[in-house]
Structure 1
């Protein structure tokens, strides 16, 4: 079977699976396929619609490529003492798209990782949801600092971020502040080596997570990022990401 024929078959099959899931979840609302990572124009390039998320003080970048696994296409992340991510900008109402689901797999966990300390703030895999800054609900200090950032970079940074992480030591389900800022929350949806080397399907209620951890109604969703980083520990990690979906609350979620 030729490659383009396999791609068409996989697309049809995936849409059919989504349709069946919508019935199973009882969705009368919205379902948005953020990405299933089909082949880009350049097979070695970034997935279509995603941009590199880099950090000025970290010269080593994680390598992200779209690869084929059977008839499926996935994102492979390779980090060697590096840190960068993939970011997809969105503008969505979290009251509508309350549930996020995705599949991921890691080849290893990080021996030195520790989400409670800056020196250990590394993860073989993380999916994070960024929420928009809203000047109408900001303090004077926030309006000043965010305004200065926009003058330099041309846009506001996110107000808050939910990080769904594959951790090495936090008990599964634990949520803590990021070691650098309380504007980012770290939620251990996987922990330890039990599922290393296997695909795991995750399902989270991002709307409920935000309200519980930030104590307020969430602003609009600004974007979703994927990130495999090992710059603080100096270790290496390989991870894989696939099938990111946002859907309405009828489907449940933890």
Structure 2
């Protein structure tokens, strides 16, 4: 079982390029996505080593209650935790069930993978409800039933001044650098157009692609295959660097929503041809 009560023994993950910044400034944050440790256990926790492949969520859990190489992350310390646990779907396949109760947290894995043209991310998920009034374009209602976040490395010299300030604040608080950029796949209301790219309301270094919208497919397993190099370039206007993290997150903290969601294994396939920045 993926037991969020064991989070004190897990590495603590921050979600969002400015989550730490917003926490310092206001103590309230939710629903963004990047990968990094919090300051609470930075001196005592050892994160798992970076992996060259995405570990299956269906693998037998460790004594800490998590699939191997996956770790709990927090949005902020004052948020209720979404509960993640392994279960079996109707086809007998092991999946992760997320139970949201006005909560926000996730499960993440550190990676170190060069991204090549045509690199394809394949996954399946199921959402049973949409958070009422959720809108990822806004700070107030930034919730989503399902998200997959990909964190990328890159050249810090290309960042704007404000982004450098966010990174410096994160480094001071957590001792870790924020990702250069984070690309998210998410499910939104039908107000969005298919494959719409949405800037995070807190920082331009996080962009979401709405791969599912509206309520037509609620309660049904949906499978996706996305060219992540193409999607990254569409979102950020340049080729991606190395993939340094992947995460799943279901959150309803801002809208005080209750619902369940489900995630299957996430796979990355590549043809082996490097992008401009991947090999650097």
TM-score of the superposition, structure 1-length normalised? Answer: 0.78
1:108 aligns with 2:129: yes
Correspondence 1:11-160 to 2 at 5 A: 32=53, 34-42=55-63, 45-56=65-76, 58-69=78-89, 70-95=91-116, 98-135=119-156, 137-138=158-159, 142=163, 145-160=166-181
Residues matched between the structures, number: 219
1:205 aligns with 2:237: no
Give 1:39 deviation, angstroms.
2.6
The residue that corresponds to 1:165 in the other structure is 186
SS in 2 for 1:118: coil
1:221 aligns with 2:221: no
The residue that corresponds to 1:21 in the other structure is none
CA–CA distance in 1 between the matches of 2:127 and 2:271?
Answer: 28
Moved more, 131-140 or 204-213: 131-140
CA–CA distance in 2 between the matches of 1:147 and 1:118?
Answer: 22
1:14-33 CA distance string (max 9 Å, x none): xxxxxxxxxxxxxxxxx955
The residue that corresponds to 1:189 in the other structure is 211
Give 1 or 2: higher strand fraction. 1
Give 1:149 deviation, angstroms.
2.5
Q: In structure 2, do the counterparts of structure 1 residues 138 and 185 end up closer, same or farther at CA, with 3 Å as the change threshold?
A: closer
Which entry has the higher C-alpha Rg, 1 or 2?
1
Q: Among residues 266, 271, 275, which one is paired with 1:244 in the alignment? A: 266
Q: Which runs of 5+ in 2 are unaligned?
A: 1-51, 273-280
CA–CA distance in 2 between the matches of 1:108 and 1:192?
Answer: 10
CA–CA distance in 1 between the matches of 2:54 and 2:164?
Answer: 34
TM-score of the superposition, structure 2-length normalised? Answer: 0.71
The residue that corresponds to 1:16 in the other structure is none
Q: Which runs of 5+ in 1 are unaligned?
A: 1-30
Kindly indicate whether the alpha-carbon contact (under 8 Å) linking 1:58 and 1:83 is maintained by their aligned counterparts in 2: no
Give 1 or 2: higher helix fraction. 1
Kindly indicate whether the alpha-carbon contact (under 8 Å) linking 2:57 and 2:67 is maintained by their aligned counterparts in 1: no
Moved more, 96-105 or 209-218: 96-105
Q: In structure 2, do the counterparts of structure 1 residues 249 and 113 end up closer, same or farther at CA, with 3 Å as the change threshold?
A: farther
